[in-house]
Amino acid sequence: MSVIFLLIAASTLVAVVFLAAFIRAVRTGQYDDDRSPAVRMLHDPPPNANYDLTTDPAPRERDSNQLDR
Amino acid sequence: MSVRELTKVNCYHCGEPCTEDRRLHDSKDFCCQGCEVVYDLLNEAGLCDYYALEERPGVKQRSSVDEQRTELFDLAEVRERIVEFSEAGISRVRFHVPQMHCSSCIWLLENLHRMEPAILRSRVSFTQKELTITFREERFPLGQLVKLLRKIGYGPQLTAAKDQVDKGVPHMVYVRLGVAGFIFGNTMMFSFPEYLGANTEAGLRTGFQWLTILFSLPVVFFLSTEFFRSAWAGIRSRTVNIDQPIALGIVALWTRSLWEVGTGIGPGYFDSLAGLLFFLLIGRWYQAYTYRALRFDRALEDFLPLVVIRKTAAGEVATKVADLVPGDHIIIRDHELVPVDAVLRSGVGHIDNSFITGEPLPSRKEVGETVKAGGRQRGALIELEVLRTFAESRLKQLWAEQVSLQDRPVMPRLIDTVARRFTIAVLLIALGAALYWWGKDPAQVWPVVTAVLIVACPCALALSMPFAYGHTIRLMGKKGLFLRDAEVVERMAHVDTVVFDKTGTLTAREAHEVRWYARTANSAPVTSPRVQYNGMRDHWVDLLSDEQQALVQALARNSTHPLSAVLTQELRSDGTTTNGDQCSRSVSRSPIQWDAAPPGRHTDTLITDVHETAGAGIQGMVRSHAVRIGSSEFCGGAEMMRTNGDAHVHVTIDGVWLGHFAIRKRARTGIAAAVAQLRTRLRVALLTGDAQVDTELSDAFHGAQVRTHCSPVDKAQSIIHEQQQGHRVLMVGDGLNDAGALAQSDVGITVTETTAALTPASDAILDAEAVPLLPTFLLQARRARRIVLASLGISLCYNLVGVAFAVSGHLTPLFAAILMPLSSVSVVAFVTVGVMLAAHRSAKLT
């Protein structure tokens, strides 16, 4: 039954990793804005209105905002 | 007279009701040209999803300070502040855009690259109201970017003050909360075997106990530091605050638990310790939640433009206000603030001093007259010669006068009073228990004393206030009152006197009311300004006909006088007005767009021989009628009794004097009712810098203190006088002339028409539309305080039960571990439900 301490140690390590990730997320400012990410993910990409079948073989990639860091 | 019925139509872009300037475009209604222009812009760029995401997401364009100036973005200091990097022709700027308020705004601002190809990327941080744009500056200068943003209604705001909005909740609050939750959860898990009585193996038991000790270290040495620091500060300054019993509890818990584990008696109370810190930190987090995008503090520099245009030999140059020296020539355009004391050199000045002194109507300045700093020009462009530097100007003195007054009286906070009594009570009980057990069984003294200190949990106390007031702040914010922090709620609950400013607070800033008073049949001047209804109709000549209104409007359009601009907006060129009262009256809600292109429907009116006489009026031939509008002498009319500070514009057509318009600033709707409601339990007063108070307001304040001609210092002194008599004063104001009074009063509220506008320093910001709700807000504050008192009662019950167990020596870790979270959660739940219910009921009253 004393193996439980080994298990506790292992799971605590995993938990600490998550805690560290949380702290890192807070400090890099991910929680500073809690409103716009929720809204942003619902935005649709724009319709390819300037797609001309006769001259353009492929749709123009105009939505550079989607390319995030 | 034809009256066109206007159905209730709202603008497709901004949602405001379409009144006089309604336009139909693309089968949608718009309230003004500004909104229509934005719609067109978005339509062309294929960005009409803006309207799909939210209904009427636009904000109506109201011109404000610095709207036209983009030169200031070329200044080094400004660029330094907003440009994050600039290299290889690509720059990234960060703007403060407080106008964004919904998901459509976010969507539009992040899709700017579709409007302008030089924009590469834009990102919004909604809670800070910031917009970061990466763009090709070499192809698209910063000034143009700003113009584009202004065109769509999201012009960035910039002030002279040092730093912008604070960054919201500090990161450490979240970090601490995260660690507290982590430790709380884990410690509870380690304590489970103890609760369930399964801890029989000695090795396992000690193992778990040492684990809990290990986990308690960060609790005491990392999470509790702010409580210890605050408690120590309180001891040093000989005051009792809420953190002292908390610190005492933490120390008692920890030392007792260490002793228990060390001597092998028991498992200790580490789980309660972790839980205590977790709940306390939740309370602290909720307390840190304030309105981050609004600014409640102001320095004088905030009110001024950063730059003015200075005329030099080399042309027009943007110069910082601080750099102006006597002798410089500066150019001030319509709606711009005069930043320094100066002498008018060219043009006609119509200076609006309402922000500074409270006078509602602009005063006229001729060439050679002095214009004081802080006035706003309403009219065409003027050129001024600087008389004094900003540091020596009247504005600076005014500010300094107000700031040097005495401090506002300190109001004891409920939480401090409670903390004091609580601590004393707990210490007395501990002492009493110690003495009792000393006599009965000395071995129990120390366990009992520490048990009392442990279980007397100020946790519920410390939680009820942040949550009750925090919810109240949120609910008030939804209705239009934005508080600086939780303490303001409590101060509002204690208020017994409400003092109002008039100009801009009880009257609208930009909206005017125009009444027509026709001359009577026997040409005698009308003695009473009020419209006579019953039986006097035969004394009135018919109202201005549609044709006549069109003539007046066509002529007024050519005048540079600000009153003419009001008339131009009020009268329609096709001769219709909005109501059929015998007194023709219309109300304008939009500010006068001086430089905007006139709407294109009237250009076929033939106007010739226009001649404007400064100080008198304007005359001309309109559609072959001789029309004169202006002062009574100019129009050959009788001088009417001027009441309540109205401005009179007389009208003469074809040599016949017809009557006059009376123009004044519109009073906000619902004020009289609100004041009446306030008067049922509070005292009210009206202090104004204006010379007169109109009848509607003087009726509402009948019997209460009304003072006119108040200087800013007069207002502040008045409030000091009230406070010395023991009253708690709430001041509602809006301009710079209220700044001193607002700072002096127990609660200072500024009224603003747009949250993006500048307001003097205050405890709360009130939306102009919500001014009539003031009685409801005060009621909500009082109710919130009562709920807090009730919750204190509840937590007292829990404490009594716990202390009873502690004193009798029956406190167990399990009991403590249950009692504390239970009391905290139930108190928070009670407070939350209570405040929501109270708000719901107060809302029903209005």
Q: What is the 3-state secondary structure (H, E, C) of B251-266?
A: HHHHHHHHHHHHCCCC
- What is the pLDDT averaged over residues B679-689? 89
Q: Are B387 and B342 in contact (CB under 8 A)?
A: yes
Alpha helices in B288-341 (DSSP H): none
- Both tokens assigned to B140: 């698209």
Q: Are B355 and B376 in contact (CB under 8 A)?
A: yes
> B120 CB near a chain A CB, below 8 Å?
yes
Beta-strand (E) ranges in B271-402? 307-312, 315-320, 329-332, 342-346, 349-352, 363-365, 370-371, 376-377, 382-386
Let me know if B54 is exposed, middle or buried by CB neighbors in 10 A (0-12, 13-18, 19+): middle
What does the pLDDT look like over B769-805, one tens digit per residue?
A: 889 999 999 999 999 999 999 998 898 888 888 888 8
Alpha-carbon span B340 to B334, nearest angstrom: 16
Q: Which phi and psi angles does B427 have, rounded to 5°?
A: -65, -40
Instruction: Please name the residues in contact with B777: beta carbons below 8 A apart, sequence gap of 6 or more.
Output: B476, B479, B481, B492
A46 with B111: Cβ contact below 8 A: yes
Q: What type of residue is B470?
A: G
pLDDT band at B63 (very low <50, low <70, confident <90, very high): low
- Both tokens assigned to B51: 């309207």
Q: What type of residue is B759?
A: T
Q: Are B358 and B689 in contact (CB under 8 A)?
A: yes
Would you say residue B117 has pLDDT above 80? yes
Position A48 scores a pLDDT of 61
Alpha-carbon span B703 to B699, nearest angstrom: 9
Residues pairing with B307 in the sheet: B320
Which residues in chain A have their CB less than 8 angstroms from residue B49's CB?
44
Position B539 scores a pLDDT of 36
CA atoms within 13 A on the CB side of B745: 33
Number of Cβ within a 10 Å radius of residue B174:
20
Among B464, B486, B461, B459, smallest CA distance to B475 is for B486
The C-alpha of B210 sits at a distance from chain A's nearest C-alpha, in angstroms, of 11
Position B534 scores a pLDDT of 30
Number of Cβ within a 10 Å radius of residue B297:
10
- CA-based nearest residue in chain B for residue A66: B121
Number of Cβ within a 10 Å radius of residue B552:
25
- CA-based nearest residue in chain B for residue A28: B171
Q: Mean pLDDT: which of B121-125, B155-159, B666-670 is highest?
A: B121-125
C-alpha pair distances (Å), B798 with each of B206, B274, B425, B525, B826: 32, 19, 15, 77, 10
CA atoms within 13 A on the CB side of B237: 9
Would you say residue B399 has pLDDT above 80? no
> A49 CB near a chain B CB, below 8 Å?
yes
Beta-strand (E) ranges in B249-362? 307-312, 315-320, 329-332, 342-346, 349-352
| A:B CB pairs within 8 Å | 74
Which residues in chain B have their CB less than 8 angstroms from residue A10's CB?
none
Q: What type of residue is B481?
A: L
Q: Which phi and psi angles does B28 have, rounded to 5°?
A: -130, 155
Q: Is the ipTM of this complex over 0.85?
A: no
Which residues in chain A have their CB less than 8 angstroms from residue B211's CB?
8
- What is the pLDDT averaged over residues B649-656? 84
Least confident of B128-132, B572-576, B682-686: B572-576
> Strand, coil or helix: what is B540?
strand
B121 with A65: Cβ contact below 8 A: yes
Alpha-carbon span B460 to B824, nearest angstrom: 5
Q: Which residue is associated with the tokens 């690509």?
A: B90
Alpha helices in B521-635 (DSSP H): 546-556, 562-570, 632-635
Q: Mean pLDDT: which of B165-179, B224-238, B445-459, B606-620 is highest?
A: B224-238
The C-alpha of B121 sits at a distance from chain A's nearest C-alpha, in angstroms, of 6
Give percent of chain B with pLDDT exceeding 70: 84
Q: Which phi and psi angles does B377 have, rounded to 5°?
A: -80, 135
Residues pairing with B618 in the sheet: B612, B629
Number of Cβ within a 10 Å radius of residue B539:
14
Q: Are B220 and B268 in contact (CB under 8 A)?
A: no
Alpha-carbon span B287 to B490, nearest angstrom: 14
- Both tokens assigned to B747: 């609660």
B125 vs A5, A36, A65: nearest CB: A36
A64 with B124: Cβ contact below 8 A: no
- What is the pLDDT averaged over residues B802-815? 85
> Strand, coil or helix: what is B192?
helix
What does the pLDDT look like over B124-162, one tens digit per residue?
A: 988 778 899 999 988 888 888 988 888 888 888 775 444
B178 vs A2, A19, A43: nearest CB: A19
C-alpha pair distances (Å), B711 with each of B7, B357, B662, B761: 44, 7, 27, 18
> Strand, coil or helix: what is B787?
helix
What does the pLDDT look like over B532-562, one tens digit per residue?
A: 333 333 333 346 677 777 788 888 877 777 7
Task: Count the helices and strands in chain A (H runs, E runs).
Answer: 2, 0
- Give the full edge-to-edge strand order of the sheet including B83-87: B83-87, B90-96, B130-136, B119-125
Q: Are B571 and B601 in contact (CB under 8 A)?
A: no
Q: Which residue is associated with the tokens 């990639």?
A: A61
- What is the pLDDT averaged over residues B306-333? 83
Among B267, B223, B218, smallest CA distance to B246 is for B223
Would you say residue B257 has pLDDT above 80? yes
> A28 CB near a chain B CB, below 8 Å?
no
- Both tokens assigned to B199: 């801890």
Among B786, B736, B729, B785, smallest CA distance to B761 is for B736
Would you say residue B422 has pLDDT above 50? yes
> What is the pLDDT of chain B when averaged over all its residues?
79
**Strand B507-518 and strand B656-667: pairing?**
antiparallel
H or E segment to which residue B499 belongs: strand B497-501
Would you say residue B603 has pLDDT above 50? no
- Both tokens assigned to B267: 């498992």
What does the pLDDT look like over B64-107, one tens digit per residue?
A: 444 556 777 777 777 888 888 888 889 999 988 877 877 888 88
Instruction: Please name the residues in contact with A20: beta carbons below 8 A apart, sequence gap of 6 or more.
Output: none
Alpha-carbon span B461 to B26, nearest angstrom: 60
Alpha-carbon span B351 to B688, nearest angstrom: 18
B106 with A39: Cβ contact below 8 A: yes
Would you say residue B821 has pLDDT above 80? yes
Q: Which phi and psi angles does A40 have, rounded to 5°?
A: -60, -35
Q: Are B750 and B759 in contact (CB under 8 A)?
A: yes
Alpha-carbon span B583 to B541, nearest angstrom: 11
Residues pairing with B515 in the sheet: B585, B662
> A20 CB near a chain B CB, below 8 Å?
no
Q: Are B395 and B401 in contact (CB under 8 A)?
A: no
H or E segment to which residue B95 belongs: strand B90-96
B178 with A27: Cβ contact below 8 A: no
Q: Which residue is associated with the tokens 């700072």?
A: B743
Alpha-carbon span B468 to B829, nearest angstrom: 10
pLDDT band at B830 (very low <50, low <70, confident <90, very high): very high
Q: Which residue is associated with the tokens 């308020």?
A: B101
Beta-strand (E) ranges in B580-671? 585-587, 607-613, 617-622, 625-630, 647-653, 656-667
The C-alpha of A61 sits at a distance from chain B's nearest C-alpha, in angstroms, of 11
Let me know if B141 is exposed, middle or buried by CB neighbors in 10 A (0-12, 13-18, 19+): middle
- What is the pLDDT averaged over residues B574-586? 35
Would you say residue B515 has pLDDT above 80? no
Residue ranges of chain A with pLDDT lower than 70?
46-69
Alpha-carbon span B58 to B152, nearest angstrom: 9
Among B431, B434, B464, B411, smallest CA distance to B242 is for B464
**Strand B683-687 and strand B617-622: pairing?**
unpaired
